[in-house]
Structures are given as C-alpha cells and as structure tokens.
Amino acid sequence: MIIHATKKVCIAAIYDKDAFEKCKEQQVGDQIDLKVGAEHDEHSKGVPIHGVVKAKGDLMGYLGATTDKVGEVCTISIGNIDLVIANSGESFITIGHFEAAGLDISEYDIVVVKQGYLFDELSAMSELDILALTPGATYQLIEELEFKHIPRPSYPFEKETMLK
C-alpha cells in the first residue's frame, strides 16, 4: 500500500492482537509487512500495510492514563501516517495515552481516535472535531441495526411511534 499524504496523521488505535504480536517481534526501526484488521465481519476486514516500526509503548486504561496499564501498543509509520496497533480494545482519550504509547501528539496535523466523541483534554487542543458514524461494534445509528427480541412497534425503528 502506497500512501501519499501531505499532513502528518496518527490513527490511535486499531485493536488487532495478531498484528500486534507480529509488530512486537520487531525492533523500532525495522520494516514490517502485515495485515491489520480483526476479521470479525465485513467491517473489520484486514488491510495489508508496509511500514516501519516507529514506537512501542503501553496502552493505558480509561481515565488512568498515567497509572492504569491495560495492554501494549506498537506504532507503524506508513509514509506520513502513524498507525497505532493495540493488543487490547481501549481508547486514546488523553495526552497521557499518547505519551505512554511513545508518541508526541503535538507532531501531528490530524489525529484520529476511535470513540464516539472527544474527551475534554483532546477536544481543547483540537481546531475541529469530526464524528464519523460508521458500521461496526459500536454503531450509533441504532435504527439501522437488526433487533430480534424487542416489542414492536418501537421508536426509532418505527417512526410513527414517536410521541407528538
């Protein structure tokens, strides 16, 4: 995969235990080819990447960004894009999460985090927050999900049930 980006981008983090284990075997500075994606369903298919191991670090827990280690991460540089690969499914919600991963958030023009909204610390340093509604494990458009065991009619699945 060849990527030509003019901005420095960080994507934090993709949870993929298999890809993480392959990264962990490498040293910082090593080139690596691997497939990243959990392969759980059509929305998590693996993508082949070629890059350089940039950093290794800790994955910190929810609000314990300086004290609560819950896993590990490896960052792969693919041109101007740094992809953080984790062995646990936690979100990067503070500057401390990036620091524990061995990254300096200030060196990026664009930071992509996988969560529904930005926590205060990241929001305060952002010029623009964009929420992307995408299918997957935490899809926010519940009216598009298939439910089998709920009473019908139910809002928002049947809009006519909305109180006026």
Question: What is the per-residue pLDDT for 64?
Answer: 62
pLDDT of 102 over the 60 cut: yes
Average pLDDT for 128-136:
80
- Reduced to 3 states (helix: H, G, I; strand: E, B; else coil), residue 55 is strand
Question: What is the per-residue pLDDT for 74?
Answer: 98
pLDDT of 84 over the 90 cut: yes
Question: What is the per-residue pLDDT for 114?
Answer: 83
Amino acid at 62: Y
Amino acid at 42: E
Percentage, residues of the chain above pLDDT 90: 55
Percentage, residues of the chain above pLDDT 70: 91
Per domain, the residue ranges of the chain are 9-134
pLDDT of 99 over the 60 cut: yes
Q: Which stretches of the chain are DSSP H helices?
A: 17-24, 95-100, 120-125
pLDDT of 131 over the 70 cut: yes
Give the pLDDT confidence of 6-23 residue by residue, as tens digits: 899 999 999 999 999 999
Question: What is the per-residue pLDDT for 40?
Answer: 77
Give the pLDDT confidence of 48-60 residue by residue, as tens digits: 999 999 999 999 9
CA distance 147 to 18: 31
DSSP E strand stretches across the chain: 9-15, 31-36, 47-60, 69-78, 81-86, 110-113
pLDDT of 159 over the 80 cut: no
CA distance 127 to 12: 18
Better-predicted residue by pLDDT, 121 or 154:
121
Rg of the chain taking only CA atoms, in angstroms = 18
Question: What is the per-residue pLDDT for 4?
Answer: 58
